[in-house]
Amino acid sequence: MNATDRIPFGATGLLMSRLGIGGGSLASAAGEGGVKAVVDAAWQAGLRYFDTAAYYAGGESERRLGLALQGRPRDAYVLGTKTGRYLPPDCTDRFDYSAAGTEATIRTALARLHTGRLDIVFIHDVQPSLHGTDYEAQHALALKGAFPVLQRLKAQGVIGAIGVAMRDPVPILRLLREAPFDAVMLAGACTLLHQEACEALLPHCVATGTPVLFAAPFETGILATGARPGARYRYKPAPADLLARTAAIEAACTRHGVPIAAAAIHFPLLCPAVKGVVVGHQAPAELAANMALLAAEPPAALWSDLRAEGLITAIPA
């Protein structure tokens, strides 16, 4: 499996790199020069999907990615961003799925990214864990406010495809059943530590031909580093129970001669609906390492052993 493989992305007409460049932790940790270094290395390697969001680094991700991509042939790469979630200077999450807010976000994204079109735009993080008692109202606003604006911009050629992006598979599936979204970005719920998306969302995407990009295959650290002291899980120190389970998974991987990071990056790709993985590389060396991981495909026996040992509850299919 090559990281640079260009995979047809469902019915969107887009060709996605098997490995995508995520603009979240990249922009936050690497700074402007680091973003350019990673984008330059990705381009030289042949990778052509770049992902960002209005939320990442308070909009700096879009701006820095736009600068790093300037001067490259626009038809040679796929560019995606997200709307609806924002990080103002006071670092307090703000959500706006209204028509006016969505329109403004797209105008800003086009300017920051120095482009006349966005290949895919995802409505970002419409999930109960973030909205609490306001979830139903926000869900309705995403469908009645943001989605029609994106449909109109798609008809005008400003947007190529419309997706939904978040961690929780349940509200993703609800949105897919209520509006004709083109694609999904799933951040979690189909990793070596969590397989909830295998229950309903991924089978639905396979059945309907809805393409999926998978983000955060390493759970922000622990599935890349293994169960070492100080391992990070979803941006925080990993709790003891997850360290123990990760250690057991790592031991199984070792028996098959597979680094746990290779197993982690390949696991979501077992589902035919998942066309690529998006990773927030922070340096060219990380990019090279992840490309090598994709080239090292684990044996099928690893997945069946993990299932038999009760270390995973499902295998994506």
Q: Which residues are catalytic?
A: 56
CA atoms within 13 A on the CB side of 74: 9
Type of residue found at 70: Q
The residue with tokens 């864990």 is: 129
DSSP per-residue string spanning 168-206 = -HHHHHHHHHHS---EEEEESSSSSS--GGGTTHHHHHH
C-alpha dist (Å) from residue 155 to 13, 76, 124, 158: 14, 22, 21, 8
Q: List, in order, residues 6 or more apart from 306 with CB less than 8 Å away.
A: 192, 249, 252, 312
DSSP per-residue string spanning 27-60 = HHHHHHHHHHHHHHHHHHHT--EEE--SSGGGGH
C-alpha dist (Å) from residue 308 to 144, 220, 251, 271: 45, 26, 14, 19
Task: Please tell me the distance from the alpha carbon of residue 110 to that of residue 158, in angstroms, as a whole number.
Answer: 9
C-alpha dist (Å) from residue 263 to 71, 296, 300: 36, 9, 11
